[in-house]
Structure 1
Amino acid sequence: MLNEMQYIYTIYKERSFSKAAKKLYISQPALSAMVKKVEQKIGYLLFDRETIPLTVTKEGKYYIKCVENILEIENNMQKYFEDLGKLDSGNIVIGASSFFCAFILPKLIGKFKEKYPKVNIEVIEGNIKELKEGLENNSIDLILETAISENDEKLKTYFYKNEHILLAVPSKWEINDKLKEFQLTYDDIKERKHLNSDIKEVSLNEFKNFPFITMKKGNDQYVRGLALCKKAGFTPKSIYKIDQIMTGYHIALFTESAVIFIRDLLIINEQKNESLVYYKLDSELSTRAIYFATKKNKYLSNACKEFLKFSLEK
């Protein structure tokens, strides 16, 4: 890519002439002069120099988009030529939320590395906004998430598996005596008995007066939990609002002070405990798909394609 494009793109990323100049190892006056030369050439300003931090103009946004297209073409070309050999090397960058980074990816990567030990895999933890930005700017090759739509025009999705949201309730609570026919234990979840059609779904209305641990607004599990409660005719009384499901799980487990909507994959991957019992919920709202996703039209390396194939077969 031409130096002037690289320099302007660095200014855009750093949102500062001085920071960009430092990163590019050139003087700020020289960098400013180069940008002015480009602006004079195209006849429009690329940056609004009155804003802090620096922002791009309408014309600047178009210029940056063109630069990103060029970067993607260069990246795809490089990946293509790197892939002409056998799959005995390669690099994959995978992004996921903390849950998948902790419970799903380590096992998949471990098994994959047994087969392809020379392939280097980097994992980046982030929220869905950060992960999508990583795909967009090509710093991430592949993401694993639930909050992905098959209809997203910018993504190519690959169905991994479904997960199921259960209600976890402290086992010492008296309400459990009334609901014995609906109860599931840790061992039941581990054996996937909750997926059997003969296991009854509990009515959430039974828990309308109990305290809840909920995810914070904006999280897909918060949305689903709220929808489940509203369908049962109430709004949950939240006494803990959390960012991470593992935090909520441990609060429920050790304080035994509230109920919580919990992922079955978490229970399956956790150590056995008898402090909580579990209830199957309305299947339509409690079932959600997990997807791998890549940026549309992005060239996927042989290593990345093989990891996808390997993971989807598990």
Structure 2
Amino acid sequence: MNARLTNTALKLSGIFILFLVMVLLIYLSVVYGVINTNWRHAIEAYTQFNGTNEHIAIRDVRVPRALVATVVGANLGVAGALLQALTKNPVADTGILGINYGASFFIVFALTFFSVNSIMAFTWIAFLGAALSGLAVYGLGSLGRGGMTPIKLTLAGAALGALASSYTNGMLVVNEKVLDEVLFWLSGSVAGRSLDMLMAVMPFVLVGWVGSLLIAGQVNTLLLGEDVARGLGQRTVFVKLAIGLIIIILAGSSVGVAGPIAFVGLITPHLARYLVGIDFRWVILYSALLGSVFLLGADIAARFIAMPRELPIGVVTAFLGAPFFIYVVRKGELRA
């Protein structure tokens, strides 16, 4: 793939520009909404807080929402890039591992049988469900001769996802009260999330970010082909296991906070490779920034499309991502 940014100086400039765009979108997310505020209100909310609606909206709603969108977008972008590299599947998303379905199943199960109603509890339950589902898929995809292969991982994820989805739908059918409580979360949303929820998963997030940067060079070697990687002395089984664990950590923490948001991990790696080529060290950085920019922009759009009401952010990402998915699939068919 021919990169549009062909040298280190251009790639660093691109990172700087994306960072500025991300900061601008955070500012727009904090300042604009149903309650009219400006940059002075944003500053005074932390320096001269007086309990007004403007200050409360900024401190308790908009700043946490913007930060959650930033972190979750970066997580999904990096997880998608790693997943596409691991499975060698250009349309791979975190849903392929059954992570979204597993987290949803655990949330609905906890509500149905244990009447859990704490948002913080939802975070940890969803994270646990996502992690266990990812590990189960990875284990199933590694059974048999030859160990883990992209097709076995894909089939295992589809099978486990379908199973979890059917059980989830069954519980929702017989318990309408649970449906009302989790419908907005199941659609994916960063609204109503607190900084405490984000801080609860940040240690995992940081481990995932650092791990993805450390393993980027090994991913470059793995992309040359498994036989070549082994010939160069790489222990491919351990590299794949590390990649899988990082994906589970990043995707699980994202689902735990914001619910199952689709297509971010599909779109951003393609855009990153379009800009910087196949060097995974750059792809990781660009996927993270593009993921944040994409999710922040989608969240702002979700608020303004139907103002004063708002759409779940998952609806907006699906609206943008579905045509892109079709484009990638048809592009692959034409090449075939």
Give me the TM-score of the superposition, normalised by structure 1: 0.25
Higher helix share: 2
Give me the TM-score of the superposition, normalised by structure 2: 0.24
More relative contact order in 1 or in 2 (CA 8 Å, sep 6+)?
A: 2
Rg larger for: 1
